[in-house]
Structure 1
Amino acid sequence: MFEAVITLVSVTALLLGSPGPAPIALSASGATYGVRNSAPFLCGILSGLGFAIIGAAVGLALLLATFPKVAYAVQLLGAIYVLYIAYKIATAPFLALNSDRSELAPTFWDGFILNLLNPKAYAAFFAIFSQFQLPVNNAFSSELLTGLVCLAVAAVVDVVWLLMGGLIRPVLSSPKKSRIVRVSMSVSMVVVVAIALVQQQGLLTIQA
């Protein structure tokens, strides 16, 4: 069991810790609005991941894998929402370190929808549940324990990304520096999403 948990933690950290729209958005939000003001956004992202875990457990991920065009449509909707988050961060006004404009930060629902419309999250958890599910005699207990471990790892990974953004914030002491970093992070979000869409379109073309 110990080895199975270590393997599950390692695989989950690798799948969820790589730079993607949600982690980059967390860092950008932390750098722009601060860690405390970005906490609701973090909670929304984790809640969206929780939904993806449940979806993988009940077979929603398999449904998306069976119908790739549906998965692509969901991914396209997610990409549009990522563009909205990226625009919101890139165009945010400069905030001094002592300012508290929490109403400008991405909200809980921004984070929730961001991962709700993320087919890659469903695919990642489907792979985890099909190959690295913890060996517990009771099937329900096995899925529950596996999901809880995944969510705990995701929480640690996402908190690290948010804190990384928070550490950058004091360096952005001028509006010019702040704008450069925020725009760079927003562009990174868009690039990551564009690459994912192109790859998915390529798979659809091959299957057709």
Structure 2
Amino acid sequence: MLTFAAAVFFLIITPGPGVLSTAGVGAAFGREAGLRYLIGLFIGSNIVLIAVISGVTAALLADERLRLILFVASIGYLTFLALRIAFAGSKIAFIQRRSPPGIPGGITLQLINPKAYAVNTALFSGFGFLPENLALEVTLKLLIANAIWIPIHLGWLALGITLQRMNLRHATQRAVNIAMALSMLFVVALAAYSQM
């Protein structure tokens, strides 16, 4: 169980679309908007968890054409987000918008986030610790994953808010945006590589 918890921590804390966009919404719109977006991410993350656990994801991805369409759409959207972050200029907001994405935006991002599917598939298909009681193991995994997911995402939200309040020099803000965009592109590249 401790190995599973450690895997959850390290797989979730690494920069990906969910945590980076959480920091971005916090930087651009503040705490309240960030918390609403985080609720959406949480709901979306659990929808992905249920889809992976129930086998719905496996059934959908069994169709090569549908898998290719979903993969291209996800990779395209995440690349678009990474480019928007990279070219946000000297203002740390990661994603420039006129209004916060809210709960629907968080749900949508998680549903097309290839990292969410890859992480949850790895976590729930491996790291077994109660082979004699699979239902209890899955329940405990859900509780552990969510107990770790929440503070990590709250931490990224706080990071985004803090970065905005620091009033960093323009060059530093631009460097942060580029580093975040490169992190997201790295996740996109890993997702693309995993499909080869």
Q: TM-score normalized by structure 1?
A: 0.73
Measured against aligned partners, the alpha-carbon deviations of 1:160-197 in whole angstroms (never above 9, x if no partner) come to: 111111111111378x5797368536734662354245
Q: State how 1:18-167 maps to structure 2 within 5 Å.
A: 18-63=14-59, 66-67=62-63, 70-82=66-78, 87=84, 104-135=99-130, 137-167=132-162
CA contact (8 A) 2:27 2:161 kept: yes
- Among 159, 174, 178, the residue aligned to 1:184: 178
Moved more, 118-127 or 183-192: 183-192
Aligned residue pairs total 191
Residues of 2 paired with 1:111 and 1:72: CA distance?
23
SS at match of 1:104: coil
Deviation at 1:24, TM superposition (A): 1.1
CA contact (8 A) 1:134 1:143 kept: no
Specify the code of the residue in structure 2 equivalent to 1:33. F
CA contact (8 A) 1:31 1:166 kept: yes
Specify the code of the residue in structure 2 equivalent to 1:52. V
Q: Which has the larger radius of gyration?
A: 1
Deviation at 1:13, TM superposition (A): 1.0
- RMSD in angstroms over aligned alpha carbons? 3.4
CA contact (8 A) 1:72 1:200 kept: no
- Among 14, 20, 25, the residue aligned to 2:10: 14
Specify the code of the residue in structure 2 equivalent to 1:119. P
- Which residue in 2 is equivalent to 1:195? 189
CA contact (8 A) 1:22 1:115 kept: yes
Deviation at 1:18, TM superposition (A): 0.9
Q: Which runs of 5+ in 2 are unaligned?
A: none
How high is the sequence identity, in percent, across the aligned residues? 21
Residues 45, 24 of structure 1: CA spacing in aligned structure 2 closer, same or farther, 3 A cutoff? Answer: same
Measured against aligned partners, the alpha-carbon deviations of 1:117-141 in whole angstroms (never above 9, x if no partner) come to: 1233223222222222442754333
Measured against aligned partners, the alpha-carbon deviations of 1:11-68 in whole angstroms (never above 9, x if no partner) come to: 1111111111211111122122222221111111111110111112111343366456
Residues 12, 72 of structure 1: CA spacing in aligned structure 2 closer, same or farther, 3 A cutoff? Answer: farther
Specify the code of the residue in structure 2 equivalent to 1:148. L
Residues of 1 paired with 2:141 and 2:188: CA distance?
31
Q: TM-score normalized by structure 2?
A: 0.76
Specify the code of the residue in structure 1 equivalent to 2:143. L
Residues of 1 paired with 2:65 and 2:147: CA distance?
31
Specify the code of the residue in structure 2 equivalent to 1:118. N
Residues of 1 paired with 2:147 and 2:138: CA distance?
14
Residues of 2 paired with 1:103 and 1:125: CA distance?
32
